[in-house]
A = this chain, B = another copy of it.
Amino acid sequence: MADFELMRKLQIANDSKIVMLVIDGLGGLPVEPDGPTELEAARTSNLDHLAAESLCGLSVPIGPGITPGSGPAHLALFGYDPLKYEIGRGILEALGIGFDLHDEDVAARGNFCTVDEKGLIADRRAGRIPTERNVELCKLLRGIKLPGVQVFAEAVKEYRFALVLRGEGLEGELTETDPQQLGVAPLPVNALLPEAERTAQLLNQWIAQAREILAGQHPANMVTLRGLAKNPGLPSMEEVYGLRSAAIASYPMYRGVAKLVGMDVLDTGETLEEEVETLKAHFADYDFFFVHVKKTDSAGEDGDFERKVSVIEHVDELVPTLLDLKSEVLIVTGDHSTPALLKSHSWHPVPTLFHSPYCRADQTEEFSEQGCSQGALGRFPAVDLMPIAMANALRLAKYGA
């Protein structure tokens, strides 16, 4: 684990730049025995050339065998132990739509659902109402006021919305209201700690009013709340590492996680080229850049091996431009593996390279699962990336005399 006490104590300010390129879901699997992974199948002469000059290895996002969600996986890349700093699902849902979370916020993932005349759940997803209907219903829900706190109801997609309470003294130790079965009534919110009692009462008031407002809106005539959680209030990258940090990511979820660790989230476009342009435009303004590539993960989730290969090849084309920036440290990694074979995130460790004048390059000649498995970093915890990056940026003082 990145030892923050040590980072805080040893951090040195200088002008060096660290660029971390995160290719989401980078790691893969062969589709047939002895076949290549997505990364191995891709023609990546630039990344291979870079690997030959780099320190390589396979990073383990959370721990052996553990498949990470996007939130914990990114926290690990930024050096935050994801088992220590848990981000609740409600917080991730709000981050995923780009909601501007504050430190004291409590957030929940809301579902519109259908209840019968007795108030028992008949459809947990309200017939998967279209997103447009969701937007209209959230406007109605915004009419609900609660004493002493602000309330935000924000449409996500289909039957899903985010509910955020903002105010002093809110706590997130709360039970969910979705009974996860049909024919029973939604549960009340219960406090798991005495400190969360008031928050539970406020949420139950909100639910009671929501029930009245939605009464005539069949099939979306009720709501359930899941993943209730408070903003974890993480220490910032600047405080921990002394790095003025910026995120370049087109998807709200990743912009949100970056904001949780205090990064400035830069405006950028949908394409890789636009992201690289944003990096160039702001290169003088920050010490650390998190550059996120989403489409590898999406292709993996879709089980589309070839599309994942072609996204990787697209990333490879942009490597010379990244190198032209001459950052003192360039890291190419992924947050986790998303093998097309599994159509999901997986536990497999992730090919990773460190490029810097002081990295002590190993003999890896190919940026791939096989190549990086022979790298001098071996299998290493993802939370080690930031301390190694800080060292290669000559931003850490000696420990002890």
**Residues of A bordering B, CB below 8 Å:** 3, 6, 10, 29-30, 33-34, 37, 53, 58, 62-73, 82-83, 86-87, 89, 92-93, 227, 339, 341-342, 344-349, 358, 360-363, 369-370, 373-380, 384, 386-392, 396-401
CB-based contact B341/A66 at 8 Å:
no
User: Nearest residue in B to A347 (C-beta to C-beta)?
Assistant: B391
CB A32 to nearest CB in B, in angstroms, measures: 10
Please indicate the chain B residues that have their CB under 8 angstroms from the CB of A29 in the complex.
358, 360
CB A391 to nearest CB in B, in angstroms, measures: 4
Residue among B71, B346, B373, B375 making CB contact with A400, cutoff 8 Å: B71
CB-based contact B89/A401 at 8 Å:
yes
CB-based contact A65/B391 at 8 Å:
yes
CB-CB under 8 A for A66 and B360, given A374-B374, A376-B58, A378-B379: no
CB-based contact B387/A68 at 8 Å:
no
CB-based contact B376/A377 at 8 Å:
no
CB A83 to nearest CB in B, in angstroms, measures: 7
CB-CB under 8 A for A391 and B66, given A6-B83, A360-B369, A401-B89: yes
Per the bound structure, the CA–CA distance linking A3 and B345 in Å amounts to 20
Most buried by B among A361, A373, A386, A401: A401
User: Nearest residue in B to A72 (C-beta to C-beta)?
Assistant: B400
Please indicate the chain B residues that have their CB under 8 angstroms from the CB of A86 in the complex.
400
Residue among B34, B66, B362, B369 making CB contact with A373, cutoff 8 Å: B362
CB-based contact A65/B3 at 8 Å:
no
Residue among B30, B83, B346, B361 making CB contact with A33, cutoff 8 Å: B361
Please indicate the chain B residues that have their CB under 8 angstroms from the CB of A342 in the complex.
358
User: Nearest residue in B to A376 (C-beta to C-beta)?
Assistant: B373
User: Nearest residue in B to A339 (C-beta to C-beta)?
Assistant: B358
User: Nearest residue in B to A109 (C-beta to C-beta)?
Assistant: B401
CB A28 to nearest CB in B, in angstroms, measures: 9
CB-CB under 8 A for A399 and B33, given A6-B66, A64-B380, A342-B358: no
CB-based contact B363/A370 at 8 Å:
yes
Instruction: Give 23 pairs: A residue, B residue, CB < 8 Å, sorted on A.
Output: A6-B66, A29-B358, A62-B399, A64-B384, A64-B391, A65-B384, A67-B397, A68-B399, A68-B400, A69-B400, A71-B400, A72-B399, A82-B399, A82-B400, A86-B400, A87-B400, A92-B400, A341-B358, A347-B388, A347-B391, A362-B370, A362-B373, A378-B378
How many monomers of this protein are in the complex?
Answer: 2
CB-based contact A64/B400 at 8 Å:
no
Please indicate the chain B residues that have their CB under 8 angstroms from the CB of A69 in the complex.
398-401
User: Nearest residue in B to A377 (C-beta to C-beta)?
Assistant: B379
CB-based contact A388/B10 at 8 Å:
no
CB A234 to nearest CB in B, in angstroms, measures: 14
CB A110 to nearest CB in B, in angstroms, measures: 15
Please indicate the chain B residues that have their CB under 8 angstroms from the CB of A344 in the complex.
398
User: Nearest residue in B to A370 (C-beta to C-beta)?
Assistant: B363
CB A64 to nearest CB in B, in angstroms, measures: 4
Please indicate the chain B residues that have their CB under 8 angstroms from the CB of A347 in the complex.
388, 391, 396
CB-CB under 8 A for A70 and B401, given A53-B33, A363-B370: yes
Additional pairs, 16, CB under 8 Å, beyond known A3-B63, A82-B400 = A3-B83, A6-B66, A30-B361, A34-B361, A62-B399, A63-B387, A64-B387, A65-B396, A66-B396, A67-B396, A69-B400, A71-B400, A86-B400, A342-B358, A346-B391, A348-B360
User: Nearest residue in B to A391 (C-beta to C-beta)?
Assistant: B65
CB-CB under 8 A for A63 and B6, given A379-B380, A380-B379: yes
Please indicate the chain B residues that have their CB under 8 angstroms from the CB of A358 in the complex.
29, 339, 341-342, 346
CB-based contact B373/A65 at 8 Å:
no
